[in-house]
Amino acid sequence: MIGTSTNLLRSATAILALLSNVRAAPTSYAYTGNGQCPQANISNSEMSKRAVAFDYNGNKVRGVNLGGWFVLEPWITPSIFGEWSSSNTVVDEFTYTKTLGKGEASSRLRNHWNTFITQGDFNAIAQAGLNHVRIPIGYWAVVPRDGDPYVQGQLDVLDQAINWARGAGLKVMLDLHGAPESQNGFDNSGKYGSIGWQQGNTVSETVTAIQNLANRYKGDTDVVTAIELLNEPLGPRLDMGGIQDFYNKGSQAVKSASSNFAVVLHDAFSTDWSQFGGGVDNVILDTHQYQIFSPDEVGRSPSQHVSHACGLGPKLASTNKWIVVGEWSGAQTDCAKWLNGLGKGARYDGTFPDSRWTGDCQGKYVGSVANLSSDDKKNIRSYIEAQLDAYEQHTGWVFWTWKTESAPEWDMQDLLAGGLFPQPLNSRQYPGQCG
């Protein structure tokens, strides 16, 4: 952590910022349909004061995830996993650190943390007109467990990132992306395979991780405006009542550190958003919207992808809480190398188990935006514009992800450079797609 004098300066800065940002929290909205912000319908009895340093009621969240930085994902940085591409013995951060041992893993990962995302990235994100970054981090960075192979040191770099965000004028959502024993079995939880979260002490350990994060950054609420309790708990495979209980305890942990944090709750892949966030002030729901992880979805035509994205807008607009689409992309295929797991193929070209051929992955398996076909470029730009129009019908969006080594449909930095992500953000080559 940084010195005491710097902390005092941060606290004073935060207090001044917060005193000028006290507004009423929302309870329900009526979308105007004219591109303006939703209008809040708040009764006097429902009004409550808040001191979150971003006006989630009046301004749009326009953000990007810093995926693959503090939580490894093979498809984002395949070079890190390349030496095991044939054996498939290293498929996630757990097996990576276990195979290398703590000394070598720490050396390699510290180099990755210090080079993959830098201050220049934060400045470029702000220059693109964005106002938020969502930063995934694993529990192991905060509360290491005995016997785990993971290494630590991420928080020192995260402290630095908070200052970079402050300097660039960006707000930060901290996202606990991996829970003990995995909340979903995805490689992006840190541990691919079985789901062991909700067994033993894993839930209480997760609450402790949240508490420690909130305590560490309670003096930085001028920048760190929100903490997401857990990324993508797999509701259909978990006890939903247990998820709700964890959300209640996690919210209390965050609020006990500072009432100036908003609490972010992932929807656990449920379409019933009304069940989340009752009785908690300053709650942001987080839903992730991809159309590629089933044969039927990846088989949609470009116009069907656009239509489906537009169809989500009215549901977002009618939600009576702040809600962000916290992950989405320009991808209409699952072609990116190792997107479905190290060594696994794609549904789009029929190389993934139990899938059927829809099209060719040429140019989308590895490559850059510049080398995409003209049709792919047109379809991606159109799809991104439709999603922006739909997701801004309520609180806003956070794109996944800022940079990759070779996945052009997912790489915002490359999409911006290639003219497929609008600049300015309200520029449209395909206006009126969502009506």
Inter-residue contact 210 to 176 (CB < 8 Å): yes
Residue appearing with tokens 């995830």? 65
Copy the structure tokens of residue 166: 């402050």
Distance CA 55, CA 184 (A): 32
Distance CA 252, CA 254 (A): 5
- Known catalytic residue at 104: no
List the catalytic residue out of 205, 232, 385, 392. Answer: 232
Phi/psi for 79 (5° steps) reads -65, -30
Residue appearing with tokens 């609020």? 255
User: Before 136, cis peptide (omega within 30)?
Assistant: no
Residues 6+ apart with CB under 8 A from 15: none
The candidate with the shortest Cα–Cα distance to 250, out of 208, 207, 220, 216, is 207
- Known catalytic residue at 327: yes
Q: Cβ of 405: how many Cβ atoms within 10 Å?
A: 15
Q: Which amino acid is at 78?
A: P
- Sign (positive or negative) of CA dihedral 213, 74, 345, 329: positive
Largest CA distance in the chain: 63
Give 116-174 as a DSSP string: SS-HHHHHHHHHTT--EEEEEEEGGGTS--TT------HHHHHHHHHHHHHHHT-EEEE
Distance CA 415, CA 403 (A): 10
Residue appearing with tokens 């159109």? 382
User: Before 401, cis peptide (omega within 30)?
Assistant: yes
List the catalytic residue out of 327, 385, 392, 409. Answer: 327
Write out the catalytic residue numbers.
232, 327
